[in-house]
C-alpha cells in the first residue's frame, strides 16, 4: 500500500501550495510532503531489500522492485534536500507579485516531484512514457522561472528537444506493444516484456529499442541530442538544477535500463553495442567540452552528460561486476550531482555571478560554500574517498575482468580528462584572494540541504551498508539477462 502513497504526498503539497501560497505555508508543506515521500520510499526500499521480493500493490500497474526502489529512494532523497534548499534560497518580493511567484514555483516543484516519483513506480510501459513526458511538461516553467531572456531560451530548447525525443520514443513504445502482442498473452510491463522477449520478432524488438534509445536518449542527455541540457540545467534555480541533473536524467535512463535486458533476453537481437557506443561518445564529448566552459553550472551540467555516458557504457559492457558498478554509479551520481548544484547555488548566493572567472577565494568569503564546492567537485570528478570513486572503480575493474579493454581504457581516459577540467576550473574559484564584496552568509536551510546529500556521498565512499548493498544487488540483477 505504501508505494501507492509515495507520489501522493507531493501531489497534496502542490494542492495546498496552490490554494495558500504564503511565505511560510508553501515551503513548509513542500518540505513536509517531500519528507513524507522520503519516509515512504525508505520504508519501501527497506522492505524490498530485506525480503528480496518486489512489492506490487496494483498488479501490472504499480510496483517496486530493486531497480525501481533505488530510483524512488534517490528521487525522494534529492527531492527532500531540494525542498529545504528552495526554502532557504528562493527570494521573492513582498505583495501580490511575490505570492504569484511563490505559487508558481512551489506548485510546479511539487508536481515535478510527483511525476519523477511516478516514473520508477509505474510498471506499465505506456503509462511510464506518459510519466516521463509529464516530467518535461511540469518542469518547463521551473527552468524558465527567472523570466529572463536566457532562461526562457533554455526552457524553449528544453521543451522542444525533449518532446521531439518523446514522440520518437512513443513510436518505439508502440512497436514494443506490437511485438508483445505477436508473442501473445503477456502484460505490457517490464516483467511481461522480458518474459515475452524470446518469442518476439527480433527485427521489431531492435527497431523499437533504438527508437526509444534515441528518443529518451535526448532527454537523458546522450550526445548528439544533448545540446539543450547545459542550457536548461544551468538556467534553472539551483534546487531545480539538482532535481533535473541529479534525478530527472536518472529517471529517464532508468527506462532505457529497463528495456535493455528485454532486448538481451531475445535470442536474435542485440542492442549492447549501440548502448555502449552512445555511452562512450557521450562521455567523451562531454569530458572534452567541460574544458572550455566559462559558467560553473554549465560545467556541472556537462559532467551530467559525461556520467550518463559512463552509466550507459557500463550497461553496454555488461557482466555482474559492471552492472553492480553501474547501479552504484546511478546512486552516487544522483547524490553527488545534487551536492554539486547545491554548492553552486551557495556560491551563487555569495557571489551573485555564474561566471567562473569572476569567482575567486570562495573559501575565505564563505567557508561553507567553498568547502561544498571543492568537496562536490572532487566527489563528482571521482576522487576517493567519495562514492563516485567506488562506483567508477567497480565499472573499470569489472570491464577489465570481462576482457573489454578498449571501452575500459576509453572510459578511464574520459574520467581523467573530466577530472582535470573540473579541478582546473574549480581550484582557482575556491582558493586565491577573495573579492572585497560578497554575501558570506549561507541560509541555514541551504546548509541543511548540503549536509543531507553530503552525508551519503561520503558514507557510500567509505562503506556500503547491508541494506544498500542488498538493494544494489537486486537492481544489478534486473539489469542482467
Partner 1 sequence: MPVGPLVGALNDLACGAFLLTAFALVVVRQVQECLWVFVLQSVLLASSSFLLAVRLRVPDLVAVGVLTLAVKTVLIPWLLRKTVQEEIYARRELAQLVTVPASLLVSLALAVGAYLLTTPLGTATVGAGRANLPIGTAGLLVGAYTLAVRREAVPQVIAILAMENGAFLAGVAVAPDLPLIAELAASFDVLVIALVMGLLTRALHEHVGTTDVATLRTLREEPAPWSPS
Question: Site for partner 1 (CB under 8 A): which residue of 12, 56, 134, 400?
Answer: 134
Question: Site for partner 1 (CB under 8 A): which residue of 42, 163, 420, 448?
Answer: 163
- CA dihedral (428, 434, 435, 440) in degrees, to 10, reads 110
Nearest partner of 468 among 457, 452, 454, judged by Cα: 457
Report the alpha-carbon distance of residue 173 to residue 284 in Å, rounded. 29
Exposure string (b/e) for 83-99, b if CB count within 10 Å is 16 or more?
bbbbbbbbebeeeeeeb
Nearest residue (CB) to partner 1, 178 versus 384: 178
- Within positions 354 to 393, which residues make up the interface with partner 1, using CB under 8 A? 355, 357-358
Q: How far is the CB of 294 from partner 1 (least distance, A)?
A: 5
Report the alpha-carbon distance of residue 238 to residue 82 in Å, rounded. 9
- Within positions 208 to 237, which residues make up the interface with partner 1, using CB under 8 A? 230-231, 234-235
Interaction between residue 266 and partner 1 (CB under 8 A): no
DSSP 3-state of 229: helix
Interaction between residue 124 and partner 1 (CB under 8 A): yes
Nearest partner of 251 among 281, 219, 280, judged by Cα: 219
Question: Site for partner 1 (CB under 8 A): which residue of 65, 133, 191, 306?
Answer: 133
- From the list 19-27, 158-166, 408-416, 446-454, the region that binds partner 1 by CB under 8 A is 158-166
Could you write out the DSSP letters of every residue in 351-363? HS--BGGG---HH
355 - beta bridge partners?
295
Nearest residue (CB) to partner 1, 85 versus 300: 300
Report the alpha-carbon distance of residue 287 to residue 281 in Å, rounded. 10
Interaction between residue 424 and partner 1 (CB under 8 A): no
Q: How far is the CB of 376 from partner 1 (least distance, A)?
A: 22
Q: How far is the CB of 289 from partner 1 (least distance, A)?
A: 7
Interaction between residue 97 and partner 1 (CB under 8 A): no
Element (H, E) at 430: helix 405-430
Q: How far is the CB of 292 from partner 1 (least distance, A)?
A: 6
Interaction between residue 207 and partner 1 (CB under 8 A): yes
Nearest residue (CB) to partner 1, 297 versus 404: 297
Structural Rg of the chain based on CA atoms: 21
Report the alpha-carbon distance of residue 419 to residue 441 in Å, rounded. 29
Nearest residue (CB) to partner 1, 134 versus 445: 134
- Within positions 267 to 306, which residues make up the interface with partner 1, using CB under 8 A? 289, 292-294, 298
Among left, alpha and beta (phi > 0; psi -120 to 50; other), residue 434 is beta
Question: Site for partner 1 (CB under 8 A): which residue of 17, 175, 317, 390?
Answer: 175
Handedness of CA 461, 464, 469, 473 (dihedral sign): positive
- Enumerate binding residues for partner 1 (CB under 8 A): 124, 126-127, 130, 133-134, 137, 140-141, 144, 147-150, 152-157, 159-160, 163-164, 167-168, 170-171, 174-175, 177-178, 181-182, 188, 201, 203-204, 207, 230-231, 234-235, 289, 292-294, 298, 355, 357-358
Amino acid at each position: 500500500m505504501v508505494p501507492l502513497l509515495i507520489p501522493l504526498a507531493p501531489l497534496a503539497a502542490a494542492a495546498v501550495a496552490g490554494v495558500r501560497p504564503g511565505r511560510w505555508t508553501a515551503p513548509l508543506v513542500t518540505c513536509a510532503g517531500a519528507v513524507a515521500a522520503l519516509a515512504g520510499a525508505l520504508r519501501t526500499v527497506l522492505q524490498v531489500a530485506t525480503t528480496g521480493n518486489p512489492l506490487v500493490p496494483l498488479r501490472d500497474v504499480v510496483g517496486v522492485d530493486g531497480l525501481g526502489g533505488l530510483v524512488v529512494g534517490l528521487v525522494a532523497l534529492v527531492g527532500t534536500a531540494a525542498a529545504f534548499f528552495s526554502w532557504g534560497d528562493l527570494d521573492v518580493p513582498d505583495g501580490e507579485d511575490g505570492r504569484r511567484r511563490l505559487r508558481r514555483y512551489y506548485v510546479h516543484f511539487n508536481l515535478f516531484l510527483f511525476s519523477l516519483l511516478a516514473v520508477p513506480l509505474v510498471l506499465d510501459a505506456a503509462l511510464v512514457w506518459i510519466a516521463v513526458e509529464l516530467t518535461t511538461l511540469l518542469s518547463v516553467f521551473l527552468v524558465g522561472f527567472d523570466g529572463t531572456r536566457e532562461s526562457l531560451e533554455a526552457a524553449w530548447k528544453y521543451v522542444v528537444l525533449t518532446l521531439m525525443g518523446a514522440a520518437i520514443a512513443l513510436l518505439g513504445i508502440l512497436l514494443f506493444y506490437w511485438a508483445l502482442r505477436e508473442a501473445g498473452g503477456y502484460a505490457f510491463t517490464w516483467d511481461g516484456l522480458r518474459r515475452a522477449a524470446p518469442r518476439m520478432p527480433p527485427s521489431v524488438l531492435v527497431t523499437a529499442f533504438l527508437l526509444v534509445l534515441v528518443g529518451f536518449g535526448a532527454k537523458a542527455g546522450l550526445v548528439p541530442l544533448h545540446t539543450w541540457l547545459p542550457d536548461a540545467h544551468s538556467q534553472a534555480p539551483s534546487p531545480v538544477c539538482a532535481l533535473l541533473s541529479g534525478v530527472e536524467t536518472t529517471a529517464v535512463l532508468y527506462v532505457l535500463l529497463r528495456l535493455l535486458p528485454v532486448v538481451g533476453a531475445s535470442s536474435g537481437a542485440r542492442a549492447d553495442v549501440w548502448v555502449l557506443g552512445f555511452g562512450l561518445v557521450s562521455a567523451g564529448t562531454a569530458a572534452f567540452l567541460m574544458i572550455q566552459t566559462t559558467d560553473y553550472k554549465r560545467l556541472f551540467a556537462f559532467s551530467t552528460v559525461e556520467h550518463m555516458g559512463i552509466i550507459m557504457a557500463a550497461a553496454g559492457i555488461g557482466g555482474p561486476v559492471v552492472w553492480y558498478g553501474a547501479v552504484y554509479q546511478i546512486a552516487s551520481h544522483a547524490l553527488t550531482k545534487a551536492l554539486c548544484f547545491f554548492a553552486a547555488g551557495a556560491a551563487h548566493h555569495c557571489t551573485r555571478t555564474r561566471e567562473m572567472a569572476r569567482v575567486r577565494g570562495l573559501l575565505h568569503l564563505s567557508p561553507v560554500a567553498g568547502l561544498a564546492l571543492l568537496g562536490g567537485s572532487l566527489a563528482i570528478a571521482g576522487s576517493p574517498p567519495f562514492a563516485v570513486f567506488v562506483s567508477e572503480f567497480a565499472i573499470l575493474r569489472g570491464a577489465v575482468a570481462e576482457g573489454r579493454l578498449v571501452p575500459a581504457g576509453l572510459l578511464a581516459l574520459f574520467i581523467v580528462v573530466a577530472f582535470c577540467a573540473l579541478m582546473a576550473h574549480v581550484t582557482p574559484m575556491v582558493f586565491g584572494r577573495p573579492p572585497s564584496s560578497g554575501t558570506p552568509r549561507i541560509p541555514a536551510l541551504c546548509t541543511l540541504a548540503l549536509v543531507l546529500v553530503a552525508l551519503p556521498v561520503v558514507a557510500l565512499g567509505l562503506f556500503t551498508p547491508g541494506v544498500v548493498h542488498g538493494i544494489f544487488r537486486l537492481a544489478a540483477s534486473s539489469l542482467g539477462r
